[in-house]
Structure formats: C-alpha cells, structure tokens
Amino acid sequence: MIPQPANPYGRTRFETASAEELLQRIHSPQPLPHSEEAEIAVIAAWMWHPHLLDEGGVQPSAFYHQPRRIIAMELMALHHAGKLPVHEGQFDAALFTHHLRSRGLLDQAGGATAIIELATALPVPGHYPHYRKILTECFQRRQLIHRLLLGIDRLQNLGRLGQAEHETVASITADLHTQLSEIETDDDSADLPCRPISEIIHSVVDKAEFRASNPGVLPGLSTGLARLDELTGGLQRGRLWAVLAESSEGKSSLCRQIVEEACKQGHVGVIYTYEMMDDEEAGRMICSQGIVRSSTLKSGQFTRAELQGFQQACQDIQGWSVAIVDVAGRYIEDIQRDILRRRRRLREGQELVVMIDYIQLALTRKDCSSRQREIAHITGSTKQCAKRAQCTILMPSQVNKDGEAREAMDIEQDADVELKILNPMKNQVKQEHWKKGRPDAPPPVPEDDPTRRLIQLAKNRDGPRGDAFPARLVGQHFRFQAMGE
C-alpha cells in the first residue's frame, strides 16, 4: 500500500494522532455532544405523559441547552408537588407559561413560543426509552470530556507556581480514575460482582461454630483494654472507629494506644498525623510503652526505672511494623490510597490498624459547599476505605459544647464504633451510669480524682451500646489503664 501524504502534523492517516493534534482538535469551535431531537422528545413526553417523570433516570443537567434545562427543572418540580398543569390528559401550555413568567424564568426558557413548540410536539410513549437513552449518553459523554479536560489542564500546569504543592502525576491519575468511575452509565451488560448467597451463609455459620467452640476468643484484635474488648469484640476488619472527646481528654492517646497494642501482637500499624510532628508521635509511643513521664523525656533527667523503660521501649518499637506519616497539607484521598497500598503489602495473617489524627484537621479535594459537608465526605469515604482495605481505622474527633461530634453528625452515622471519653469532674457523670446493675463493678473512686475517665460506648455495630466503664488517663504516659492497675 502506498503511504498517504503526511498531514500538517507529520503523520499518515493510518497513524495515531499526536497529543498536539488532539489538543488542536479540542480547541476547535464545535459543540459538545447533544441531540436536539432527543431533548425535545423527552420534554414533550413529560408534558403529555407525566407518569414518565416517575421513572427517573434523567436530571435537568442532562439537557445541553439552558432553556430546556430550565423547562425540565420546572416540570420536575411541579410534578413532584402535584401541580403539573395537566387537565383531562391535556397539557396546559398557557398555565405553564404563566408559571414561568411568575417565576421570572420565561425569557430564560426561550419565551412562550418555545413552550408552545414543545407542547405541540406529540411524542409516542413507546419511543421515550430510546430518546431518554440518547439524552443520557450525550450527557455522559459531556461529563467525560469535562473531567478529561480538567485532568489535561492539571497535567499541563503541574509544577507551576500557584498549583497544589503535593500535586503529582499519581494523584492526578488517581483522581481521574475516581471521577470517571463516578459517572453513571446505563450499561446493563453485567451485574456488580458478589459472592453466592450460599457461600456467604456458610461463612456466617463457620464463624458462629468457631466462636461456639472457642469461648472467650475475640472476633477481632485486642485493644489492650479488657472491658472494651468485651463490649466490642475487639478490632474487626472493615470498621471505622470514632473516638470523641474534648481537648486534652485522651482521644488521641486512646487511639494511639490501640495501634500500639496491635503492633505488639505482630500486626501493622500506621499513624497519619495532621496535628503533630512524627518525632512527637514517636516520643509519645515511647512514654506509653516505657512508662516514661513526658516531662522526663523533655528534660532528659531519667530515673533508673525510666531509663530502663526508655531503652526497652525504643528497642521494642523499632522491631514493630509501624509507620508514622506526617500528612500536614495532604488530602484524605492521598491517605486512603496509601492505606490501600499498604494493605496489599501485608503478609499472611497480618492485620492493618490505622489512626488518622484527627477528623477536624483532615482535608479533601472534593469541592463542598461547607465544612460540614467536607467532614461528611471525609468520614463517609474513610468508612468505605476501611471496607475496601479490610482494616480498622481509628479517627479521633473533637466535640462541641453539647458533647456531640463537632461540625457534622455524619461522623456518628458513618462510624461503626463510637467511643466518648467523659471526664466526670467536667460532665458531672455519676458512677451509677456505669455501676448500675453490675454487682461486680470496681470500688468507687473519689470524685476528685483528676485522672478518672468514663469510656462510653455510644455506638457499637452488632453489639451493646450505651455502656460505660471507668479508666484512668495517665497523661504523662499518654495511655489509659484499668482502674485496678
């Protein structure tokens, strides 16, 4: 075959277009994918057959032209309110025109002429699915083009002044993958993958039989606090723990202590810290494990016992599979990708326990209208990350004056386990709250004990909730102890 003459970009027509040529095509003035016929047919079908609106599957943004987008939005709103101007099967274009005029939208919708043209188009109901599919496919193509162009713009400006400091090719690629997967499609060729129900039932039966024959064995990893293990069953895969407390009441200490306990059992722990430097986190782990006072660590004036504890803790921690990651300025999406990567590297029999310190400092790339929505996205996506990675994620959270999670109720909704650390001296919580009905409860503790805390199980998926048990916060050691210790 004789090669075809090269085009201005130096290739034959059988060769793949270069990036420069494709970019030139993108910049050429041409409309985005849309179908005039499909848009008119769908709106006309809604006017004459309002029951089609109940089928859903189409949103106003699916219409390419702004006037039809406005008309579609108003038709949906009127239908939802039961006020669509249809009498004896006839759509009243005059009443709908009056409605648009009263809302100040008539000119934006193309005027009365546009309404009449749509109302006089007589669609065949049987053709509606065909036109709806064309409409949604064009909308999906526009969404794909928009997201890809945003990705191209980010790639071309990567490294330039004013761009995000931590922007990388990997982060852009991951974001594109997430954004493209969020575009809804009407592909009915295959169902989402799932295990056969018989296999799932057998798994449930096997777990029940194992627990019946091994009483006292925890379903998950031990937290290091016997009462907490008893109430929750320990750290179980795919679960998000939210630990709520006021400032300096031990929420980070409790989460860190749980990670330490998992590492002592031979598992993998990761601490993502927004708040402190990595050496500060390591110092607190040493204080916790070596029973070294934080003031001693700062001054360097060790007692003999503290020096021995310090040396032993340093040696032990270096042998753990633990990582402390400073994530200041990074996004929760980066952390979630890192969790998934670390999960893939686990050895057989190892579990992954993660701490993200803390919720209110976390950032997200998602464009949200308020900080409350950002927090909701952060906790919701982190819960999904815990499921995908089959790990336990611990997230400390601040509380407001009412003792509830600050900035978003979604924290409590997304969490599988919610712990509240209460200070009786501040909250006036009486011992009867945890002692009632428990004759074997530990002896009373004086109300003026500043180290006493109540750890309340506010939420516990598949387990008891509302229970609380006392523990002692040893602030200098950054750890909790049972009251009898």
Task: Read off the CATH number of the domain in which 53 is found.
Answer: 1.10.860.10
| 312 and 460 co-located in one domain | yes
Element of type H or E holding 316: helix 304-318
| 306 and 424 co-located in one domain | yes
| 123 and 231 co-located in one domain | no
3-class SS at 375?
helix
In what side-by-side order are the strands of the sheet with 268-273? 321-326, 268-273, 352-357, 392-398, 239-245, 417-422, 452-460, 468-474, 479-482
Tokens of 478: 């950054």
Residue 284 in domain: yes
Residue 188 in domain: no
* DSSP labels, 57-107: ---GGG-SSHHHHHHHHHHHHHHHTT---EETTEE-HHHHHHHHHHTT-TT
Residue 453 in domain: yes
| 445 and 352 co-located in one domain | yes
- Note down the domain range covering 265: 221-482
Of 132, 166, 182, at which residue does a domain stop? 182
**Residue 80's pLDDT is what?**
85
Question: The domain spanning residue 315 has which CATH number?
Answer: 3.40.50.300
The 8-class DSSP code of residue 31 comes to: P
Residue 242 in domain: yes
| 391 and 272 co-located in one domain | yes
Task: Write the CA distances from 309 to 250, 269, 484, integer angstroms.
Answer: 22, 22, 22
Task: Write the CA distances from 209 to 200, 220, 222, 231, integer angstroms.
Answer: 14, 16, 21, 20
| 226 and 178 co-located in one domain | no
* Other Cβ atoms within 10 Å of 328 Cβ, number: 11
| 236 and 138 co-located in one domain | no
Tens of each residue's pLDDT in the chain, 485 residues: 444 445 555 555 556 667 777 777 766 677 888 999 999 989 988 888 888 888 777 888 889 989 999 999 999 888 888 888 887 777 888 899 999 999 999 999 989 888 888 888 877 767 888 888 899 889 988 888 888 888 888 888 887 766 666 678 877 887 787 777 767 655 544 566 778 888 889 988 998 888 888 888 888 899 999 999 999 989 999 999 999 988 888 899 999 999 999 999 999 999 999 999 999 999 999 999 999 999 988 898 989 999 999 999 999 999 999 999 999 989 999 999 999 999 988 988 899 999 998 888 999 888 887 888 888 889 999 999 999 999 999 999 988 766 666 666 778 888 999 999 988 877 554 444 444 545 555 555 555 678 888 899 988 887 888 888 899 999 888 999 887 65
| 176 and 320 co-located in one domain | no
Residue 190 in domain: no
| 155 and 231 co-located in one domain | no
Of 151, 182, 213, at which residue does a domain stop? 182
Residue 391 in domain: yes
Count of domains in the chain?
2
Of 128, 159, 182, at which residue does a domain stop? 182
| 227 and 173 co-located in one domain | no
| 99 and 147 co-located in one domain | yes
Residue 285 in domain: yes
Residue 364 in domain: yes
Amino acid (one-letter) located at 392: T
Tokens of 15: 């060769």
Closest CA to 395 of 413, 384, 411: 411
For residues 296 and 287, give the distance between their C-alpha atoms in angstroms, rounded to a whole number. 9
The whole-model pTM stands at 0.62
Exposure of 481 by Cβ count < 10 A (0-12 exposed, 13-18 middle, 19+ buried)?
A: middle
| 257 and 127 co-located in one domain | no
**Residue 5's pLDDT is what?**
47
